[in-house]
C-alpha cells in the first residue's frame, strides 16, 4: 500500500513527506489492526516519510469478520525547478532497471486464475521447478520501495525519466516517462526475469506479450539517464543496495520495442 504511493511520487522527482492510511474491516481485532499498521509504519520508514494519521472503520454485516481492506495516500514535495522533465531525452540515452521483489501489487487476479488458488489453496505450498521457495511465499514478497536509492541518484545526476512498473507492465508504464518521438528499445534477453514469472507463463499458457503487458517481469522501476551518466547512476544505486543494470536504450520512435 505504501510502496504503490511513494514509488509513484518519486516519478515526478518528489520526496514523500507524509502518509495516511485507512483500514476497513469486518471486525476490529486490535492485535490484527496493530499488525497491519506495523507493516504500514515499516513501509514509511523505508520511504523516509511520516505516518501522520489514519482511520479504522468497522463494517459488521458488510464485510466478513476476518476480512480487511487497506487504502492510503502520500503527499510529497519537489522544488518546481526540479520536477522531472523529459525535454532533454534523446536517442542514445540509457534505460536502467531496478529489480523487483516479485509480482509486487499487480496482476493478482490473473495469478489466482493461473493457479486456481481459490479452489486449490494447497498449490501455495508447492515449490515449482526453478524456484527456491514455495509459491505462496514468493507471491507474498512485499513490493520494493525505491525512494531512497532513486532520490540519491537524482541528487547527483540529471534523471530524464522514471517509470514505476505496475499494472500494464512494460507496455503501459514505460511510455509515461518518454518524450514524444522517443521509444524504449529493450532486448528481452537482457531482462533479468525471476523463475516465478516463467512458472506463471508456463502454467497459465500466457503469451509473452501478455506477460510483459501485465507483470513487471522482474523490473520494478526504470530510470533514463544520459549515456555518460549511466555508470555513475548504477554505482549510486548499487551503493544503496539495488542490483541495478542497463536494460535498454532510447531510440527514435514511440512506445516500447521489445526485441
Say what the pLDDT of residue 87 is. 87
Q: Are residues 105 and 231 in the same domain?
A: yes
Q: Which residues contact 247 (CB under 8 A, 6 or more apart)?
A: 95, 96, 97, 186, 190, 191, 219, 222
Tell me: the pLDDT tens digits for 93-147?
999 999 999 999 888 888 999 998 989 899 999 998 888 899 999 999 999 999 9
**How do 182-186 and 255-258 pair as beta strands?**
parallel
Q: Are residues 25 and 107 in the same domain?
A: no
Say what the pLDDT of residue 63 is. 92
Q: Are residues 97 and 173 in the same domain?
A: yes
Q: Are residues 107 and 179 in the same domain?
A: yes
Say what the pLDDT of residue 86 is. 85
Instruction: Choose among 89, 77, 18: nearest CA to 48.
Output: 18
Q: Are residues 254 and 132 in the same domain?
A: yes
Say what the pLDDT of residue 256 is. 81
User: What torsion do the CA atoms of 10, 12, 14, 16 make, to the nearest 10 degrees?
Assistant: -50
CA 113 – CA 107 distance, rounded (Å): 10
What is the distance in angstroms between the CA of the first residue and the CA of the last residue of the chain? 33
The residue out of 30, 56, 80 marking a domain boundary is 80
Domain harbouring 42, CATH code: 3.30.1330.10
Q: Are residues 141 and 186 in the same domain?
A: yes
The residue out of 80, 109, 141 marking a domain boundary is 80
Q: Are residues 55 and 175 in the same domain?
A: no
Q: Which residues constitute the domain of residue 51?
A: 2-80
Q: Based on the structure, what is the number of domains in the chain?
A: 2
Residues of the chain with pLDDT under 70: none
CA 235 – CA 233 distance, rounded (Å): 5
Q: Are residues 141 and 107 in the same domain?
A: yes
Q: Which three cell numbers stand for residue 39?
A: 507493516
The residue out of 80, 98, 116 marking a domain boundary is 80
Q: Which three cell numbers stand for residue 236?
A: 549510486
CA 225 – CA 242 distance, rounded (Å): 17
pTM of the model: 0.88
Say what the pLDDT of residue 125 is. 92
Read off φ and ψ for residue 31, nearest 5 degrees. -65, -40
Question: What angle (nearest 5°) sits at the alpha carbon of residue 247, between those of residues 87 and 187?
Answer: 110
Say what the pLDDT of residue 255 is. 86
Over its C-alpha atoms, the chain yields an Rg (Å, rounded) of 19
Q: Are residues 122 and 15 in the same domain?
A: no
Q: Which residues contact 52 (CB under 8 A, 6 or more apart)?
A: 18, 19, 20
Amino acid at each position: 500500500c505504501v510502496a504503490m504511493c511513494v514509488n509513484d511520487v518519486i516519478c515526478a522527482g518528489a520526496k514523500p513527506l507524509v502518509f495516511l492510511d485507512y483500514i476497513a474491516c469486518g471486525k476490529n481485532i486490535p492485535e490484527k489492526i496493530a499488525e497491519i499498521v506495523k507493516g504500514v509504519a515499516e513501509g514509511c520508514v523505508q520511504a523516509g516519510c511520516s505516518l501522520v494519521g489514519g482511520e479504522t472503520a468497522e463494517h459488521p454485516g458488510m464485510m466478513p469478520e476476518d476480512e480487511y481492506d487497506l487504502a492510503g495516500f502520500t503527499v510529497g514535495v519537489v522544488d518546481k525547478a526540479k520536477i522531472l522533465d523529459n525535454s532533454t531525452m534523446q536517442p542514445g540515452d540509457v534505460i536502467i532497471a531496478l529489480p523487483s521483489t516479485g509480482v509486487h501489487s499487480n496482476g493478482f487476479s490473473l495469478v489466482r486464475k493461473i493457479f486456481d488458488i481459490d479452489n486449490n489453496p494447497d498449490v501455495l505450498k508447492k515449490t515449482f521447478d526453478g524456484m527456491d521457495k514455495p509459491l505462496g511465499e514468493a507471491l507474498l514478497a512485499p513490493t520494493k520501495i525505491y525512494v531512497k536509492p532513486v532520490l540519491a541518484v537524482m541528487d547527483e545526476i540529471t534523471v530524464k525519466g522514471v517509470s514505476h512498473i505496475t499494472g500494464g507492465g512494460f507496455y503501459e508504464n514505460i511510455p509515461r516517462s518518454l518524450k514524444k518521438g522517443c521509444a524504449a528499445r529493450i532486448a528481452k534477453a537482457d531482462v533479468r526475469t525471476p523463475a516465478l514469472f516463467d512458472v506463471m507463463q508456463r502454467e497459465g499458457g500466457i503469451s509473452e506479450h501478455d506477460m510483459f503487458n501485465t507483470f513487471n517481469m522482474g523490473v520494478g522501476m526504470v530510470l533514463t539517464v544520459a549515456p555518460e551518466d549511466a555508470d555513475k547512476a548504477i554505482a549510486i544505486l548499487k551503493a544503496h543496495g539495488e542490483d541495478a543494470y542497463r536494460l535498454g536504450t532510447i531510440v527514435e520512435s514511440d512506445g516500447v520495442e521489445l526485441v
